[in-house]
Amino acid sequence: MANDLSDKTGSSKETYDDRPFHSEDLPPEVRAPLAPYKGEEPAAPAWFKWAIAQEPERSFVTSHGTKIEALTWGERGKPGLLLVHGNSAHADWWSFIAPYLAKDFRVASMSLAGMGQSDWRETYRFADFADDAEAVSRATGLYDGGRKPIYIGHSFGGGQVFFTAAQRPELMEAAILVDTGFGGPPPEVMKEREKRRELLANIPSPDKPSRVYPSLEKALERFRLMPPQPAENHYILDFIARRSLKRAPLPAGETAADGSGEGFAWKFDPNMWEKLDRSGMSMSSGGKLPAVTVPLVHLYGEKSRIIERRRVGEETALAEVAQEIEIPDSHHHVMIDQPLALVAALRTLLATWPH
């Protein structure tokens, strides 16, 4: 998702509502891409099976009293890479990418607070993320090689990485953003706002907790990407979706498919978007992003909504502060659309840059 770096109460054109939204006005392959599989796993290629067989070390790191989930690959003492996922996602979004980087690096993937297996918070702040990222990096050995780690963040995670690069550059050697945008809501969000009643009926709120599905099959049927896009690699969607779910008690009067009394719910905090504190996150002035002193690269999808909006004339300041590299035939979720191209781009970049 794109990122809101403006004040919580601001009304500038850069304000972005980054809550998930839901619409049934989408083609079936976008609205419910896993429904045809009826709970079964799609066939996967050999490269993917090898990657997910490289099971990471799973641990938790405490930061600000919160347990933060961390996955690690590769040997301590090698240069460090910290991988940060996007909105409503989790550390396993990188589990089929990280093993291909672990030959030359000590790699850690973290679940942001309120997502994955990480604890939820009463308030979520970008500044706390910078502290969380440092805590994970130090605990997992990303500094052990004598060089500061490189941070890599996708989408909303890229916004977190950018904030840290601007405000805490001493923590990192360099930063790579993967399809990260700064700007107003994309057209589909604006369309949803026009149908406010439907929007409010579908977004979780303090009075509406996450929905609990009676079976894994029913939960997988509801999985979709945000922002909505087509995706051909259903085996990746299935892998991500299964690791996005947790067991949860069903509401009174409902029965689980297995008779256990428990169903499946999404792991992320459903009230995160109401609890996200944007004060102190404004980093721009006059539409310009702040100077970043660490080397910065932006990898983006050729078919990404971010790029589509640029092509119709929307201004962007990111190109002024970062070197940009296009990943062909990819939408916003680059690691899903073109995972091996992303691996190749990262490996080539890391072998020659920022030295």
Read off the DSSP letter of residue 251: P
pLDDT single digits (tens) 227-279: 899 999 999 999 999 999 999 999 877 777 777 889 999 999 999 888 988 76
User: Going by DSSP bridges, is the β-strand pair 150-154/296-301 parallel, antiparallel, or unpaired?
Assistant: unpaired
Tell me, rounded to whole angstroms, the distance of Cα 322 from its chain centroid: 20
- Mean pLDDT of the region 48-71: 98
Burial class (CB in 10 A: 0-12, 13-18, 19+), 44: middle
d(CA 4, CA 342): 25
pLDDT at residue 194 greater than cutoff 50? yes
- Mean pLDDT of the region 113-120: 98
State percent of the chain over pLDDT 70: 80
d(CA 18, CA 227): 10
pLDDT at residue 186 greater than cutoff 80? no
- Mean pLDDT of the region 216-234: 94
Other beta carbons within 10 Å of 228:
20
Read off the DSSP letter of residue 211: -
The confidence score (pLDDT) of residue 112 equals 98
The confidence score (pLDDT) of residue 4 equals 33
Torsion of the alpha carbons at 45, 75, 144 and 177, rounded to the nearest 10:
-10
Identify the three-state secondary structure at position 281: coil
pLDDT band at 318 (very low <50, low <70, confident <90, very high): confident
pLDDT band at 13 (very low <50, low <70, confident <90, very high): very low
pLDDT band at 209 (very low <50, low <70, confident <90, very high): low
pLDDT at residue 305 greater than cutoff 90? no
pLDDT single digits (tens) 117-176: 999 999 999 999 999 999 999 999 999 999 999 999 999 999 999 999 999 999 999 999
The confidence score (pLDDT) of residue 142 equals 98
pLDDT band at 206 (very low <50, low <70, confident <90, very high): very low
Residue 75 to residues 49, 103, 105: CA-CA distances in angstroms?
22, 8, 7
The confidence score (pLDDT) of residue 281 equals 58
Domain range annotation of the chain:
1-355
Nearest residue to 91 (alpha-carbon basis) of 24, 140, 126, 26:
140
Contact call for residues 139 and 76 (beta carbons, < 8 A) = no
On average, the pLDDT of the chain sits at 85
- Mean pLDDT of the region 25-50: 95
The confidence score (pLDDT) of residue 131 equals 98
Does domain 1-355 fall under CATH 1.10.240.10? My reply is: no
pLDDT at residue 18 greater than cutoff 60? no
- Mean pLDDT of the region 81-89: 96
E strands along the chain, which residues? 57-63, 66-73, 80-84, 106-110, 150-154, 174-178, 245-249, 262-266, 296-301, 323-327
The confidence score (pLDDT) of residue 196 equals 45
pLDDT at residue 283 greater than cutoff 90? no
